[in-house]
């Protein structure tokens, strides 16, 4: 079976290519992985994103927190191995694995002078596995991108189930927000061999993301 | 191990890429010299390519049929008119007062330059090969002609022969004192070369554009930009194209396949 099939052009990027593209993206723009309020992050930069503290009555300045993610790694269908239940990787899906470190600025307790003590960072690191699928955004020949949309997120080894549900939802919101910024432009899938007029795809099969079309 | 990125086009799309490569190649120019029978000739020539249909054959042959070459010449001929040189001898007439003589008058004709503008086209069909190389930080996939095909320049040579005759006639008109000798001069000069000489001059000029003909169907920097910079906090995203290869693969249809490791 030809690569182009019923179309005139075909392009694909495999699992290793996607992961290298993600490494390049987050390596150049690490602020998409590191979020924090004062005092953990003091200003926006290439490496960090400043967020507001969580306002809460009686906590002066609000609750400080930070969220740090490792660069996600992908596994394109078919899966390299079994995923923790209930996750199942189906055709046209990919899994993303990352470690999320959640830190809060703990100011519990009082100092001898009656004031609250210094902010003490308290952290937990969670293994997060997500399942998603690729979607394409096409503007004009050669101009467009593939991005990832999450279908399900699981935080491993958390109990009780109600806490897991909270964390699953929290991490799904965070990962969705992060991935909304991640684009695989057509030019990394076809390495600018041609200006693709997208006609079909993206699909995931044989450990690669595939797109088809014509050339202009 | 499979490549990270695979991009493929079928023959239809390959013809489209060829068109883009032809446009990117632009107009080629060459200068040189040769001979047209006994006449010296120098030329400046330009050529461009268009059209052609692609047929892909594994493992790495790209046959291009009906590729059109449009060329133009600025041909400059050096015509030595010394063969027309003549002298009017001194003539003396006797008179009772002595001989009266006319002076001896000689006419020396110069070497003139005749410029012949000419443009025409030809079509060719040839096999091309694939050449992948990394040069000065850029990856190239070139489609390179394997051998120079015979070009049918017969009709163009006939037209060029006529154009040369017309140009020589026009140039001779401007030569002082040639009036009575014009028809003789034209006849002598144009008899000095024939269609074979014109073909012998034109063929190498046009063939020079075809020899080594190279269309670049892919050129990208090894340090490849995936996303441009988006200030203030988003630097450009770059990946390195570590290896590039290209071949023709045949399944239920033949395809030109580019494989890249990043």
Query: Domain range for residue A83?
Result: 9-215
Chain A residue whose CA is closest to B226: A188
pLDDT for the residue numbered B37: 80
Domain count, chain A: 1
Interface check A130 vs B, CB under 8 A: no
d(CA B116, CA B161): 10
Return the number of other C-beta atoms located less than 10 Å from residue B159's C-beta.
15
Structural domain contains residue A209: yes
- pLDDT tens for residues A142-161? 999 999 999 999 999 899 99
What does the pLDDT average to over B161-165?
Answer: 90
Interface check B15 vs A, CB under 8 A: no
- pLDDT tens for residues A69-86? 999 999 999 999 999 999
Q: pLDDT category, A109, cuts 50, 70, 90?
A: low
Interface check B3 vs A, CB under 8 A: yes
Return the number of other C-beta atoms located less than 10 Å from residue B200's C-beta.
16
DSSP conformation class of A82: P
pLDDT for the residue numbered A90: 95
Structural domain contains residue A141: yes
Residues of A in contact with B19 (CB under 8 A): none
pLDDT for the residue numbered A116: 56
High-pLDDT (> 90) share of chain B, %: 65
What does the pLDDT average to over B198-223?
Answer: 94
Q: What are phi and psi of A158, to 5 degrees?
A: -120, 135
Point out the residue among B3, B7, B239 whose CB comes nearest to the CB of A24.
B239
Q: pLDDT category, B180, cuts 50, 70, 90?
A: low
Residues of A in contact with B233 (CB under 8 A): 29, 31, 44-46
Q: Match 């000798």 to its residue by tokens.
A: B181
d(CA B2, CA A142): 24
Domain ranges of chain B: 5-261
Structural domain contains residue A4: no
d(CA A155, CA B258): 40
Residues of A in contact with B220 (CB under 8 A): 191-192
Interface check B64 vs A, CB under 8 A: no
Residues of A in contact with B142 (CB under 8 A): none
Mean pLDDT is lowest, of A59-68, A72-81, B72-81, for B72-81
Interface check B216 vs A, CB under 8 A: no
Are residues B185 and B178 in contact, defined by beta-carbon separation less than 8 angstroms?
A: yes
Structural domain contains residue A104: yes
Return the number of other C-beta atoms located less than 10 Å from residue A55's C-beta.
9
Nearest Cα to Cα of residue A74 among A156, A18, A30, A146? A18
Q: Record the tokens describing residue B79, joined without a space.
A: 């015509």
- pLDDT tens for residues B1-51? 789 999 999 999 999 999 999 999 999 999 999 888 878 899 999 999 999
Q: Residue A108 pLDDT > 80, yes or no?
A: no
**What is the distance in angstroms between the Cα of A189 and the nearest Cα belonging to chain B?**
6
Residues of B in contact with A19 (CB under 8 A): none
High-pLDDT (> 70) share of chain A, %: 95
Judged by CB atoms closer than 8 Å, whether chains meet at B10 and A1 is answered as no
The torsion angle over the Cα atoms of residues A154, A158, A159 and A165, rounded to 10 degrees, is -30
Judged by CB atoms closer than 8 Å, whether chains meet at B251 and A44 is answered as no
Q: What is the CATH number of the domain that holds A82?
A: 3.15.10
Higher pLDDT, B104 or A103: A103
Structural domain contains residue A174: yes
């Amino acid at each position: 079976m030809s690569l182009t099939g019923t179309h005139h052009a075909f392009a694909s990027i495999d699992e290793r290519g996607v992961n290298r593209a993600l490494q390049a993206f987050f390596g150049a723009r690490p602020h998409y992985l590191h979020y924090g309020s004062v005092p953990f992050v003091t200003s926006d930069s290439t490496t960090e994103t400043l967020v507001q503290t969580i306002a809460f009555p009686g906590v002066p300045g609000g609750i400080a927190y930070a969220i740090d993610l490792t660069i996600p790694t992908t596994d394109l269908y078919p899966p390299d191995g079994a995923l923790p239940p209930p996750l199942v990787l189906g055709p046209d899906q990919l899994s993303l694995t990352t470690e999320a470190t959640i830190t809060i600025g703990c100011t519990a307790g009082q100092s001898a002078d009656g004031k609250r003590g210094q902010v003490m960072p308290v952290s937990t690191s969670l293994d997060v596995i997500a399942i998603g699928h690729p979607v394409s955004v096409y503007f004009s020949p050669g101009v467009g991108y593939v991005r990832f949309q999450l279908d399900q997120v699981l935080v491993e080894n958390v109990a009780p189930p109600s806490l897991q549900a909270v964390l699953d939802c929290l991490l799904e919101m965070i990962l969705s927000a992060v991935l909304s910024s991640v684009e695989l432009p057509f030019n990394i899938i076809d390495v600018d061999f041609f200006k693709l007029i997208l006609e079909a795809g993206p699909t995931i099969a044989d450990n690669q993301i595939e797109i088809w079309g014509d050339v202009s | 191990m499979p490549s990270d990125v695979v991009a493929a086009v079928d023959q239809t799309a390959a013809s489209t890429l060829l068109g883009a490569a032809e446009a990117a190649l632009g107009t080629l120019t060459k200068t040189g010299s040769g001979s047209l029978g006994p006449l010296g000739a120098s030329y400046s020539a330009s050529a461009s390519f268009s059209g052609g249909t692609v047929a892909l054959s594994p493992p790495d042959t790209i046959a291009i049929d009906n590729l059109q070459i449009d060329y133009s010449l600025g041909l400059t001929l050096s015509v030595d008119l010394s063969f027309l040189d003549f002298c009017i001898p001194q003539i003396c007439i006797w008179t009772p007062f002595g001989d009266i003589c006319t002076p001896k008058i000689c006419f020396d004709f110069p070497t003139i330059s005749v410029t012949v503008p000419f443009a025409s086209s030809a079509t060719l069909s040839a096999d091309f090969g694939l050449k992948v190389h990394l040069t000065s930080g850029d990856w190239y996939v070139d489609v390179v002609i394997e051998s120079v095909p015979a070009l049918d320049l017969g009709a163009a040579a006939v037209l060029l022969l006529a154009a040369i005759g017309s140009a020589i006639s026009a140039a001779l008109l401007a030569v002082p004192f040639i009036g009575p000798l014009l028809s003789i001069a034209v006849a002598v000069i144009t008899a000095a070369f024939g269609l074979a000489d014109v073909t012998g001059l034109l063929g190498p000029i046009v063939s020079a554009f075809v020899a080594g003909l190279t269309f670049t169907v892919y050129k990208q920097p090894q340090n490849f930009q995936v996303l441009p910079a988006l200030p203030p906090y988003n630097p450009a995203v770059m990946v390195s194209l570590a290896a590039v290869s290209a071949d023709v693969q045949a399944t239920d249809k033949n395809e030109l396949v580019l494989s890249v490791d990043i």
